Amino acid sequence: MRPIISIVIAAIILLAVNSVFIVSEGQTAILLQFGRITEAGFKPGLHFKLPLVQQALRFDRRLQTLDAAAERYLTSEKKDVNVDFVVKWRISDSAKFYTAVAGDQERAQQRLAPIVKDGMRTAINSRTLKEVVSSARSDLTDSLVQTANKAAMNLGIDIVDVRIKRVDLPEESSVLRSVYERMRSERKQVADALRAEGNEAAERIRSDADRQVQVIKAEAYREAQTGRGEGDAEAARIYASSYGKDAEFYAFYRSLEAYREAFTPANGVLVLDPKSEFLHYLQDSK
């Protein structure tokens, strides 16, 4: 009798445990009965169900991230761009979510990716390259969120945000080559302008230095000529004074200087008349 009571109590406990389920914070749930949804959209808390007949499935209703691989798109100017974007989404309708993807988040992202990519392609095709990479990017993502949400309604998903992480030009793109050429041309113009300014400054410095050299030489020449004139005047004064004191000695001294200048060259030759006045002091010892 006692084993039967224990079995009954265990069965009652088992039925009681299977009659309740808990939905945690950040979750939502649906209730299935023989594979058919009987109730959905459960909020966090304790809930009841029919034991052994109904089954509760819980889903994470927090924000999920779809980090898609970069895709190539064409702008309205027919220019290629590689766009890398990320999508923030969450479950908005648990019943539709289960019906569409059987509650599989990975499958949901596989269904969501082409929807967002198609919307991205449409948005970029209607915009220029400048609009895609400029401040108009926020307008692009806002319109993309609205368009993608309409297409994802049957998935029970709400797309919260789409953010473009990076916009690149393909390596083989003619746009990239033209950008590089324009950058190179602009840098060359700046370099040429700086080089011209440097040459102009160098010429200005060089001409100023040449002017200063000419001024310094002129001043030095003037001072030298002044000193030479003063020296010549002083020498003339000394010569005149010496001549006034002893004319004969002065004549003798000047003759010695003339001899020294004439006989300095080692191989010099003088052809003179023996009676020349130049040889006066050499002939007449008196």
pLDDT tens-place string over residues 223-269: 888 888 888 888 778 777 766 676 767 667 777 677 677 666 667 66
CA distance linking residue 74 with residue 83, whole number of Å: 10
Per-residue confidence (pLDDT) for residue 229, from 0 to 100: 87
Higher pLDDT, 87 or 169: 87
* Average pLDDT score, the chain: 80
Q: Which range has the worst mean pLDDT, 7-16, 21-30, 147-156, 228-237?
A: 7-16
Mean pLDDT of 52-75: 86
Mean pLDDT computed over 74-85: 84
Measured between alpha carbons, how far is residue 226 from residues 68, 114, 219 in Å? Answer: 92, 99, 10
pLDDT of residue 69: 81
pLDDT at 137: 66
DSSP 126: T
Q: What is the pLDDT of residues 270-283, one digit of tens each?
A: 665 666 666 666 66
End-to-end CA gap in the chain = 180
Average pLDDT over residues 20-48: 86
pLDDT of residue 90: 92
Percentage of residues of the chain with pLDDT beyond 70? 75
Region 4-27: mean pLDDT is 73
- At 158 the pLDDT is 92
Using the predicted structure, report yes or no on whether residue 216 has a pLDDT greater than 80. yes
pLDDT higher than threshold 80 for residue 136: no
**Rounded mean pLDDT, 159-183:** 74
In this predicted structure, the answer to whether residue 8 has a pLDDT above a threshold of 70 is no
| pLDDT at position 10 over 80 | no
Among 140-144, 154-158, 210-214, the least confident range: 140-144
Residue-level pLDDT at 205:
92
Crossing angle for the helix pair 105-125 and 137-151, nearest 10 degrees? 130
140 pLDDT higher than 70: yes
Instruction: Give the count of beta carbons closer than 10 Å to the beta carbon of residue 112.
Output: 23
Q: How far is C-alpha 198 from the chain's CA centre?
A: 26
Give the model's pLDDT for residue 246: 66
CA atoms within 13 A on the CB side of 95: 9
Packing angle of the helix pair 174-245, 247-263 (nearest 10 deg): 140
